[in-house]
Structure 1
Amino acid sequence: MKVVLLLLAFVAAVSGQTEPWCRCAAFVTYEHSEVMVYEAPEVIIDSCTDDVKQCKNLCAKELNGLSGDGDLWLITETGITVGQHICSYLADHFIFWITRHKVYGYYEVCGGAWQYTGVESQQALCCDGGKHEHCVNY
């Protein structure tokens, strides 16, 4: 009976495998949690073990390209700032106030742990009622 269960588990694992892939996202970091504020489309890579560096580089390039190297005040093609896109996304998920948080880029290979790309926003993010604001130091 154990052999049959092991065989079924093996078949399920093999049939559930798909092409290797890379995920890329931006997060706001809190003391005990991370909140995803943007996710790029998945990228197909050749190998889950050999293409980790490729995933990291593609992700960093994607995030830097979209944000002007981490500039939250960059005006996007839609006419609003990168920071406003993030504040709007957060407000849509019932997070209306953010005070002085950097936005960081991460990548994930084939379902593994999220890893830091080295991408960081130039400015801290502040959202007031879902509106992107300049952060004021008190």
Structure 2
Amino acid sequence: MKVLLLVFALVAAVSGQTEPWCRCAAFVTYEYTEMMVYEAPDIIIDSCQDDANQCKDACANELNTLSGNGDLWLLQESGVTIGQTICTALADHFLFWVVNHRVYGYFEVCGGPWEYSGVASQQLLCCDGGKHDHCIVKK
């Protein structure tokens, strides 16, 4: 009986890994690294080989809907801005000060490389001690 359960568990694990999926996330870009600040729920796609555009479009739609097309000052139902949510996520990783960074959306198909979804924040992100703040752009 134990062997039968083990076989079923292995079959379930292997079959679960072959289902096509898409990851979607928002990142803040630094000179030498990217910091994920939001990850959407996985998106089911039809195929790992042929559906990069399906993944890209679904990811762009998810991020644009969530953020009002990249508006960092959009108030969420909780009364907190999108930018504050991102500043809080960064502060949770001990990044309390962010000056003039854009937030970009990326997607990943079936464990492949992260690719740009075409979504970017309308404003630059600035966090002052973990608090979302207006950026001052020098010319």
What is the TM-score when the length of structure 1 is the normalising length?
Answer: 0.87
Task: Output the aligned Cα RMSD.
Answer: 1.4
1:10-66 deviation line (CA, Å, top 9, x unaligned): xxxx93733110000000001111000000000111100111100000000000001
Question: Which residue matches 1:47?
Answer: 47
Kindly, what percent of the aligned residue pairs are identical? 69
Q: Give structure 1 stretches of 5+ with no counterpart.
A: 1-13
Question: Which residue matches 2:26?
Answer: 26
Question: Which residue matches 2:121?
Answer: 121
More deviation, 41-50/95-104 = 41-50
User: What SS is found at the alignment partner of 2:18?
Assistant: coil
User: What SS is found at the alignment partner of 1:62?
Assistant: helix
Question: Which residue matches 1:6?
Answer: none
User: Counterpart amino acid of 2:91?
Assistant: A
In 1, Cα distance between equivalents of 2:33 and 2:90: 15
In 2, Cα distance between equivalents of 1:100 and 1:15: 44
Question: Which residue matches 1:88?
Answer: 88
Question: Which residue matches 1:110?
Answer: 110
In 2, Cα distance between equivalents of 1:39 and 1:15: 24
User: What SS is found at the alignment partner of 1:83?
Assistant: helix
CA deviation after TM superposition for structure 1 residue 136, in Å: 1.4
In 1, Cα distance between equivalents of 2:14 and 2:40: 26
Give the ranges of 4+ consecutive aligned residues of structure 1 lying more than 4 Å apart after TM superposition.
none
CA deviation after TM superposition for structure 1 residue 109, in Å: 0.2
